[in-house]
């Protein structure tokens, strides 16, 4: 049952942690924010742009409502290491195949 007296004050209504939420679509919009008065909400953006924006937000101490920046950046670094490792193994295997092909005289089996 609804009771009287549990409404937020008009000054704090719609705020998150006493900060005004702002939808951020790109890096320029993030740079315009004031860390003391605003809290960022990232729009649907790609991973590459999100990484840049997360780094910028950490540097400026801007709070992001829908993203844990430290966890996200650690995961991105881990994914990058894995991607580079698989990429290097692919390049090595291609080089080995080319060397074998030259050694065989260019004949296909």
Contacts of 62 (CB under 8 A, 6+ apart): 30, 33, 35, 38, 39, 40, 56
pLDDT tens string 59-81: 999 889 888 989 999 999 999 98
Contacts of 64 (CB under 8 A, 6+ apart): 39, 40, 41, 42, 54, 57
Q: What is the mean pLDDT of the chain?
A: 84
Q: 63 exposed, middle or buried (CB, 10 Å; 0-12, 13-18, 19+)?
A: middle
pLDDT tens string 31-48: 998 888 888 888 899 989
| pLDDT for residue 109 is more than 90 | no
């Amino acid at each position: 049952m609804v009771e009287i007296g549990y409404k937020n004050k008009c000054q704090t209504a719609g705020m998150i942690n006493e900060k005004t939420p702002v939808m951020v679509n790109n890096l320029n919009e993030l740079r315009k924010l004031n860390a003391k008065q605003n809290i960022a909400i990232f729009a649907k953006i790609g991973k590459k742009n999100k990484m840049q924006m997360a780094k910028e937000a950490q540097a400026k101490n801007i709070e992001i409502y829908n993203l844990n920046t430290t966890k996200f950046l650690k995961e991105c670094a881990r994914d990058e290491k894995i991607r580079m490792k698989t990429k290097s193994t692919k390049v090595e295997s291609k080089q080995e195949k080319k060397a074998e092909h030259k050694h065989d005289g260019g004949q296909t089996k």
